[in-house]
Structure 1
Amino acid sequence: MARRLELTILSDNTVEKRKLLAEHGLSIYFEYNEQQYLFDTGQGEVLVSNALKSGIDLKKIDTVFLSHGHDDHTGGLKKLLEINPEIRVFAHSDVFQAKYKKVDAGLEFIGINLAKSDISNFSAAETTIAAAAGVYNTGEIPAPRASYLNERYVVANEEGEKIDPFDDDTSIYIETESGIVILLGCSHKGVKNIIDEIRGAVGDKKIAAVFGGMHLKRAGRKEINGLIEYFKELDLDLLVPMHCTGRQAAVLFKEALGDVVQLASVGDKFEL
């Protein structure tokens, strides 16, 4: 069976196409081996409208993957479940934790607006799991905490608050004839940590493309330059920095890696 992959960006921070809308969020629709999938749902303000205007029927989607529990990736799930109540939801169980961001006024809630009990078809992705032939969820990424922890993000419950360990930060990877295609949510566990874990899982298979958020808006040049050298080592065919990657990092990637980097926005389509 030919492993052909088509992706369409339904939610991102920028848009250049008429009649489509942008938001601070991420959602990528993809078709693979005659099945339809969604990776993240954005904040929920644009998902349904952009899908309709892109000719995508959300009722036909088989599975939605949630990369982590922040509302700019899970906010559209409630509307999606209203449209497609039996859709299979793949996520780490910690996606339902109460998540907050530290701001000047205190703590701002940025977690999911649903409980696990609101989902009738939930698949826990604590470890690497195949959602279908050729489509894999990484499960929890083991990584040294010093390499990724960010004190701005916390989880809270009746016992108090703590820095979010982001155990729910998962990604997916897809086998294509060109090689492995990786979809990143926000990369809270660290871009290198995530990709290296996937490389270990796929062995000598080529990493052909990386799409998604890399959480580099506050990153310094040293960190960005380190990633540039890392991507050169990977010898990617395609790199699509999105959402929380930040404009500075995305432009520096483009300057260093040339045509390998595509500065995409809502409505853009890719075929691999």
Structure 2
Amino acid sequence: MPTTITLLVDNQAETGLKHEHGLSILIEHRGKRILFDNGQNDGLFYNAQKLAIRLTDIDLIILSHGHYDHGGNLARLLEINPNALFYAHPDCMQTRYSLHPNKSPRTISLSKNTMEAIAAFPAHQKRWISKATEITPGIWLTGEIPRISESEDTGGPFFLDKEKKQADQLHDDMSLWIETAAGLTVICGCCHAGIINTLNHINGQTGNARIINNLLGGLHLVNANQQRLKSTIDYLNKQNIETLYPAHCTGDKAMALLKTQFNNKLKIAKAGLQLTLR
């Protein structure tokens, strides 16, 4: 049975679907239905209905990190999927802020309602992940990703307090990879750990020689300077990646550069995208 991937929420959408600042991806793999992130607003349920995809009977609900645009529908999803397993890093429950110069502090953490829903969900169904973990045969979560690349940072003015005393390193940022006979498919939420760090970590876990058939998701290059963009493109050019599907927070400037570098290897992801892995 092939594995299918459906992009349910993204900043861009195919005709007839809603777009929003957020991300949600449904993975159907070996009889398991896995939801990786769940968007911000009502785009998830609207698009699922349009695509005739049910959001009940989800087996695994994954939160890539604790930001509002990835966990906006989590309370409702946990309610309608009472038998699901919930996967996240424990740091996802922190209160977090975006503090741009000359702007008021903006809360970007999960909502109070979402945090209460996570806390109330049965303890034996919660899986707190901090290291690379196989969550179902053939699918792995990265856990915490070592920050080694000097050119990468979290991608924004992120703090755990309004006074800018404690930077938020977003240690909860996790990506996912799927193993097939042909190679790997890597799915990122926002990639706050950096795509170089993320792929280096995955390569270390899988033996460094696996072809990456697909790289899908947000790369958080929206605020990247020229040095980081160059380092990222140079690194990606050296990887065995067949198709890139940048999405969500990658940023228009980075999208344009990636397109010039990877040409027919790059496809802009939009809500409604469906992939079949064999």
Shorter-chain TM-score tier: over 0.9
Q: Which of 88, 91, 96 is the matching residue for 1:91?
A: 88
CA distance in 2, matches of 1:51, 1:23: 14
Q: Kindly provide the amino acid, as one letter, of the partner of residue 12 in structure 1.
A: D
- Aligned counterpart in structure 1 of residue 180 of structure 2, from 176, 180, 203: 176
Letter in 1 for 2:141: N
Query: Is the CA contact 2:155–2:223 (under 8 Å) kept in the aligned structure 1?
Result: no
- Judge which range, 38-47 or 193-202, deviates more: 38-47
Aligned counterpart for 1:164 among listed residues 160, 168, 186: 168
- CA displacement 1:225-247 (0-9 Å, x = unmatched): 32222222113111100000012
Match for residue 117 of structure 1?
119
CA deviation map 1:96-140 (0-9, x unaligned): 011111144432111112224132221001111111001111111
1:152 is matched with: 157
| Pairing of 1:166-205 with structure 2 (within 5 A) | 166-203=170-207, 204-205=209-210
Structure 1 CA distance, aligned partners of 2:256 and 2:240? 18
Alignment partner, residue 106 of structure 2: 108
What residue identity is the alignment partner of 1:118?
A
Other-structure match for 2:132: 128
Is residue 233 of structure 2 the alignment partner of residue 228 of structure 1? yes
In the superposition, the TM-score normalised over structure 2's length comes to 0.90
Comparing 255-264 with 191-200, which one deviates more in the overlay? 255-264
Structure 2 CA distance for aligned equivalents of residues 75 and 256 of structure 1 = 34
Does the CA-based 8 Å contact 2:155-2:224 persist in structure 1?
no
| Structure 1 contact 150–163 (Cα < 8 Å) conserved | no
Letter of the aligned partner of 1:7 in structure 2?
A: I
Greater Cα offset, 184-193 or 248-257: 248-257
Give yes or no for contact 2:155–2:221 (8 Å, CA) kept in 1: no
Long gaps (5+) in structure 1: none
RMSD (Å), alpha carbons: 2.0
Gaps of 5+ in 2: none
Matched, 1:23 2:27: no
Tell me which amino acid in the other structure corresponds to 2:121. Answer: I
1:164 partner amino acid: D
- Match for 1:231: what amino acid? L
Matched, 1:49 2:46: yes
TM-score by length of 1: 0.92
Name the CA distance, whole Å, in 1 between partners of 2:83 and 2:182: 32
Picking from 243, 248, 251, the partner of 1:243 is 248
Q: Measure the CA separation in 2 of the matches of 1:242 and 1:134.
A: 24
